[in-house]
Amino acid sequence: MCQAKISCQARGEVVEFAIMENSIVAVGSIALDTIKTPHAEVRDIPGGSAVYFGWAASYFSKVGIVGTAGNDFPGEYLELLKSRSINLDGLKVGGKTFRWTGRYGENPDERETLSVCQDVFENYEPEFPESYRSSSCIFLANIDPDLHLKVLSQIKNPGLVTGDTMDLWIATKKDSLLETLKKIDMMFLNESEARQLTNENNLIKAARVILSFGPKTVIIKKGENGVFVLSENILFSMPAYPCELVCDPTGAGDVFAGAALGFLASESQAMPVRAGRVNEASLRKAVAYGSVVASFCVEDFGLRKLEKVTEDDIMGRVEKFRRLTQF
């Protein structure tokens, strides 16, 4: 199953990235994004939750995507994904690509969705291909939770089930989301989503309520204020890697999850079957790797910065992050 290993030296410690056959599958959106910031605007760049997640996970682990793109999704963008060995066996092509337009204010944590075109999902029936059956983790990235449930119903033994969501589904599909949460081992949410889902303002209380919905581990993302992690036996927080340049935060949450789960998959070689068995030391390292890869993502629009980032760049920044957080 283990196909290749890349070793990186970090302060005398050898971290091995074990690349495994389809070890993670992301179910989510494949998009053409238009992003407006106070300083610039880009149109129709590649985006979507599965794309950002897959890109980040691919530094550490094999990854496949389940999703749909339109006939108008440029072939060069598909080639870009293939250049990182992202498996597209689960991609259906037809109709018009999902489009999202968002605008940021001077504060990058404040985002407004200006428009979405979701036609491509109307008749979309997701299919989990045979070639992904050996995967040890599934990430239910931001997409309609009814589609998550359709995919889960096709898998007998999904391994570690992880997920993410957004304000739209909490507002419009809460019952389906709660149904999905019963099947999720590890849930990623940002702080406003955690509050919206639970009606709890205090984030630790909110995370406890989310644990009561089903997940064994909850990871709450707080943008530039970092992350905190709660499970029955684990509580820790970690700052974000400090970035002087924040150009575009789109996709940073998916990139964080992709790198963290990719790292966990590679560290344990065979993904722990249930989140309860992920040990705290691995989880802490995974969160650090997630924060570092996300810090690259925000430095340019879309995937532009990550297109240039190598494993060595990641290890260099992980080492800086380690020094920054030591006391």
Query: Residue 293 and residue 257: Cα distance in Å, rounded?
Result: 10
Near ligand AMP by CB under 6 A, which window of 62-70, 77-85, 178-186, 245-253? 245-253
Checking DSSP bridges between strand 2-10 and strand 13-20, what pairing results, if any? antiparallel
Q: Between 31 and 137, name the residue whose CB sits nearer to ligand AMP.
A: 31
Q: Rank residues 116 and 209 by Cβ distance to ligand AMP and give the closer one.
A: 116
End-to-end Cα distance, the chain: 39
Which part of the chain contacts ligand AMP (CB under 6 A), choosing from 26-34, 78-86, 152-160, 274-282? 26-34
Nearer to ligand AMP, 17 or 59 (CB): 59
| Residue owning tokens 């209380």 | 205
Contacts of 279 (CB under 8 A, 6+ apart): none
Nearest to ligand AMP of 71, 134 (CB atom): 71
193 belongs to the binding site for ligand AMP (CB under 6 A): no
- The stretch among 61-69, 150-158, 247-255, 262-270 that binds ligand AMP (CB under 6 A) is 247-255
Q: What is the DSSP letter of 123?
A: T
Task: Pick the binder of ligand AMP from 54, 90, 215, 253 (CB under 6 A).
Answer: 253
Q: Interface with ligand AMP includes 250 (CB under 6 A)? A: yes
The binder of ligand AMP chosen from 55, 77, 100, 188 (CB under 6 A): 100
Give 308's DSSP letter: G
In angstroms, give the least distance from the CB of 144 to ligand AMP: 7
**Element (DSSP H or E) covering residue 84:** none
Query: x/- binding map, residues 163-182, to ligand AMP, per CB under 6 A?
Result: -----x--------------
Judge whether 137 and 26 are in contact, CB under 8 Å: no
Count of chain residues binding ligand AMP (CB under 6 A): 15
Burial class (CB in 10 A: 0-12, 13-18, 19+), 310: exposed
The binding track of 116-145 with respect to ligand AMP, each residue x by CB under 6 A or -, is x-------------------------xx--
The smaller minimum CB distance to ligand AMP, of residues 48 and 90, is found at 48
Contacts to ligand AMP from residues 282-321, by CB under 6 A? none
Query: Nearer to ligand AMP by C-beta: 254 or 267?
Result: 254
Q: Nearest CA to 67 among 100, 29, 121? A: 29
Site string for ligand AMP, 29-68 (x = CB under 6 A): x-x-x-------------xxx-------------------
Query: Which residues touch 158 (CB under 8 Å, ≥6 apart)?
Result: 138, 152
Residue 243's CB is within 10 A of a number of other CB atoms, namely 17
List strand residue ranges (DSSP E) for the chain, in order: 2-10, 13-20, 24-27, 31-36, 41-47, 63-69, 87-93, 98-104, 111-117, 137-140, 160-163, 186-190, 217-221, 227-231, 235-238
Instruction: Cite the DSSP H helix spans in 115-159.
Output: 145-152
**Closest CB 320 distance from ligand AMP, rounded Å:** 24
Binding site for ligand AMP (CB under 6 A): 29, 31, 33, 47-49, 100, 116, 142-143, 168, 250-251, 253-254
